[in-house]
Structure 1
Amino acid sequence: MKLLIFLGTVRDSTPPRPARLGERVAKACLTCLEQRYKEHDIELIDALDYPLETVFKPHFAYAEGRAPAALNRLAEKIASADGFIMVSPEYNHSMSPALANLLNHFGSSLFSYKPSAIVTYSAGQWGGMRAAVGMRTFLAELGCLSVSAMIHVPKAQTVFAADGSMQAGEEQGAWFGYFDRAFSQLVWWAQATATHRSEVNPHTLLQDFKTDPSERNAP
């Protein structure tokens, strides 16, 4: 399976400290997956690596061959992936605007019929769980339904060091065991949906919404 980890934060300044708390969480997820799911291809997609235009123009709105090269490459990665891990902080009880903005640049047909896992974090005690509730609806609309187990990391700065390793006093086995509830579900569903996609092309079952809202309207 090919799995993409989306790190949904672009804030790289202080205060607060540390500036990119989510980078620690994403790196820990990457380490956990590489250790426990060695047979799979895991790649980290950092929203900070994709500086987007101020005026919103999604990948699919460009004439064929005219989209920025970075968006083309990411579209290819999303299309070839079998599942997604979405890592987000919480902003006003909602998911990261940077993550939503990046994902919204691509049509749902690239994400659909593949599973996702939700990972949230915070510097405080709630671990971003309120953002996670809204992310379920957002990811469902993209078509990459989230698995039931979610990962929440409260006080992430005390759990993970800058490189994603454990802070003193924290047990990697305990945290990775917690992560594994979501990741094992994700891999199971990714394998199941990949197998069925190879037998039945889901995009032939109903018309994709590509040019006009009437393509999804009731009669």
Structure 2
Amino acid sequence: MKFLVFLGSVRDSTPPKPARLGVRVVEAILACLKMRYQDHEIEVVDALDYSLEPIFKPHFAYPKNKAPSELNELAQKIESADGYIMVSPEYNHSMSPALANLLNHFGSSLFSYKPSAIVTYSAGQWGGMRAAVGMRTYLSELGCLPVSAMIHVPRAQDIFTANGTLQTGEDQDSWFNYFARTINQLAWWAQATKAHRAQADPHQLISDFKATPSERNAP
């Protein structure tokens, strides 16, 4: 399976410290994937790497072959992936605006009929759970339905070091077992949907919403 891990934080200010707490969480997820899921291909998509224009123009709105190269390349990665791991902090009980902005540049036809996993974190006690609730609806509309198990990391700065290793006193097996519950679901669904897509192209069965609302309106 090929999975994209989206890091949805571009914050570079304090307080709180550290500013990019999500980097620690992603590194810990990657360490678990490399140790326990060596057969899968994993790539990180960091929202900070995309200097998108302040005036919003999605990838699919550009004339053919005229979109910025970084959007074209990411579109190809999204389309070729078998599933997605969405890592987000919580802002005002909602998902990261940077993550939503990046994902909104692409049509749901690139994400559809593949699973996703939700990973949230916080510097406080709730682990981003309230953002995760909203992400279920968002990712479902995007077409990459989230698996039921989610990962929440409260007080992430006290659990992981800057490079994603466990702080002294934290048990790696316990955390990796916690991660694995969600990742196992993601891998199972990714395998199932990949196999079925090979038998029946869902985009041929159900037309993609491409241009106007009338394409999905009731009669």
**TM-score of the pair, normalised by structure 2:** 0.99
Distance in 1 separating the partners of 2:31 and 2:76: 24
Distance in 2 separating the partners of 1:181 and 1:124: 23
Distance in 1 separating the partners of 2:214 and 2:179: 41
Distance in 2 separating the partners of 1:107 and 1:210: 8
The residue number in structure 2 matching 1:163 is 163
Deviates more, 1:10-19 or 1:78-87: 10-19
Give percent identity, aligned residues only: 73
Mapping of residues 103-142 of structure 1, within 5 Å: 103-142=103-142
Post-superposition offset of 1:73: 0.5
Post-superposition offset of 1:112: 0.2
The residue number in structure 2 matching 1:15 is 15
Post-superposition offset of 1:51: 1.1
The residue number in structure 1 matching 2:98 is 98
Distance in 1 separating the partners of 2:161 and 2:109: 37
The residue number in structure 2 matching 1:178 is 178
Distance in 2 separating the partners of 1:95 and 1:205: 32
Structure 2 residue 72 is the aligned partner of structure 1 residue 72? yes
Report the number of matched residues.
219
Residue 146 of structure 1 aligns with an amino acid whose one-letter code is: P
The residue number in structure 1 matching 2:39 is 39
SS at 2:190 equivalent: helix
SS at 1:71 equivalent: helix
Superposed CA deviations along residues 102-160 of structure 1, whole A, max 9, x for unmatched, are: 00000000000000000000000000000000000000000000000000000000000
Distance in 2 separating the partners of 1:165 and 1:18: 15
Gaps of 5+ in 2: none
> Is this contact kept in 1: 2:122–2:128, CA < 8 A?
yes
Superposed CA deviations along residues 48-80 of structure 1, whole A, max 9, x for unmatched, are: 001111011111111111111111100000000
Q: CA RMSD, aligned part only?
A: 0.6
The residue number in structure 1 matching 2:58 is 58
SS at 1:44 equivalent: strand
Superposed CA deviations along residues 184-205 of structure 1, whole A, max 9, x for unmatched, are: 0000000000000011000011
Distance in 2 separating the partners of 1:44 and 1:27: 10
SS at 2:44 equivalent: strand
> Is this contact kept in 1: 2:16–2:123, CA < 8 A?
no
Distance in 2 separating the partners of 1:12 and 1:111: 29
Distance in 1 separating the partners of 2:73 and 2:58: 14
Residue 148 of structure 2 aligns with an amino acid whose one-letter code is: S
> Is this contact kept in 1: 2:139–2:145, CA < 8 A?
yes
Post-superposition offset of 1:207: 1.2
Distance in 2 separating the partners of 1:46 and 1:81: 16
**TM-score of the pair, normalised by structure 1:** 0.99
Post-superposition offset of 1:14: 2.3
